[in-house]
Structure 1
Amino acid sequence: MPDFDAEAHVVHMAAAMALPIAPEWQSGVVAHMAATARAAALLLDPPVGDHVEPAPVFEP
């Protein structure tokens, strides 16, 4: 995810949610956001063919 700026995202969302983040926690929050974005990319990046349809109901 080269164009995802975790630091800018954290700053923006903290302001939007009026969520104070202590300065000593900021780098940790940014690191976790970047790690979460990388994990999400693993699920979102693989191509899915047009023939694939979601299951209407999960049945174990």
Structure 2
Amino acid sequence: MNGPFDAKAYVAHMEKVVDLKIRDEWRPTVEANMAATGKAANLIMSFPLDDEVEAAPVFLP
């Protein structure tokens, strides 16, 4: 990703891409949700893994 995630810009862009109208009263909530999702994605993507690591076919605690 180039620079910090801009949730407001992402929501505005995707609104046009998928031809979806977000009502003004819902926009802050949608943007906050996207910001939280972006933070979670950054946390996951920043976790170091070796190239040889493979996903487990079944999770066993």
Aligned residue-pair number = 59
Distance in 1 (alpha carbons) for counterparts of 2:52 and 2:14: 37
Runs (4 or more) in structure 1 with deviation over 4 Å come to none
- Decide which moves more: 42-51 or 30-39: 42-51
Match of 1:37 in 2: 38
Q: CA-atom RMSD, angstroms? A: 1.9
Distance in 1 (alpha carbons) for counterparts of 2:59 and 2:26: 42
1:40-51 equivalences under 5 Å are 40-51=41-52
Give ranges in structure 2 of 5+ residues lacking alignment: none
One-letter amino acid of the structure 1 residue matched with residue 58 of structure 2? F
**Cα 1:4/1:59, change in 2 over 3 Å:** closer
Match of 2:10 in 1: 9
Higher share in helix = 1
Question: Normalised by the size of structure 1, how large is the TM-score?
Answer: 0.79
